[in-house]
Amino acid sequence: MDLKLEQKVAIVTGGSKGIGAGVVTSLLAEGACVVNVNREGPEGPELGRQHDPTGKCYRFIAGDLCDLATCKRAIDETVAQFGRLDILVNNAGVNDGVGLDAGPEAFLESLQKNLLHCYALVHYGLEELKKTRGNIVNIGSKVSITGQGNTSGYAAAKGGINGLTREWAVDLADDGIRVNAVLPAETWTPLYDKWLKTLPDPESTRAAIEASIPFEHRFTTVEELAAMVVFLASPQSSHTTGQIVFVDGGYTHFDRKCTAT
């Protein structure tokens, strides 16, 4: 299927690793131009060397998205280089374990890391998205639906993303801008691998998690998440908006009897 993304221009936040890198790679493979906004690090430039050696369709912008100036700069530099903005993928975030015991200041900081930049990027990029009748894909988390424990900040932020997805879909319908969210559950990323390796028995823990995933008893891959994001971002999904789509092998919604071991 031709996703009709040739020469479309996308911003992906947190696009250097994990799900974000998968989205960047998939968009480039479909012929889109991509701006990856992420903290400084070797992974961002390396993605360009691997997938766009000519440097024509990939741009890495290093910056902290907690700084609103970075959010505005990302929009301004994208339009300056590529002339337009068609797609905004709000992916950046971290499950920082800020629970009830952490206190209000830590909670506010967690919201800033996981939610504020989503609003800011849409705010600063809105006029450009209106010009192209573009679309927004927000990356959420099953935590917003299931809870997890000891992660109040992240859960609140991801719940906020669900709410904003529906709010913006209504708000921007008359402008032809579609807004959807993709929610992963247990997705195999370098960060997940790193966390498992801190545990006493990583292999047993991984096996137990996989057993709890109903479909094929395995982690979702980054490529599977990216495929859904890119489809929703494409004109082939032209009448889909306000949707919260789970790509999780049935983890979030299947009856618990399906995951019992």
Q: List, by residue number, the catalytic residues.
A: 154
Task: Provide Rg for the chain, Cα atoms.
Answer: 18
Q: 28 Cβ partners below 8 Å, 6+ apart?
A: 34, 51, 52, 57, 58
Q: Is 176 helix (H, G, I), strand (E, B) or coil?
A: coil
Question: How deeply is 100 buried, as exposed, middle or buried, from its count of CB atoms within 10 A (0-12, 13-18, 19+)?
Answer: exposed
Rounded Cα gap, residues 187 and 123, in angstroms: 29
Q: Quickly list H helices, the chain.
A: 18-29, 43-51, 68-82, 104-111, 117-132, 143-146, 152-171, 190-196, 202-211, 222-233
Pairing label, strands 33-38, 58-62: parallel
Q: Which residue has the tokens 């545990």?
A: 199
- Spatial separation of the C-alpha atoms in residues 138 and 184, rounded to whole Å: 11
Q: Judge residue 73's burial from the number of C-beta atoms within 10 Å of its C-beta, 0-12 exposed, 13-18 middle, 19 or more buried.
A: middle
Output phi, psi for 187, to 5 deg. -115, 135
| DSSP code, position 257 | G
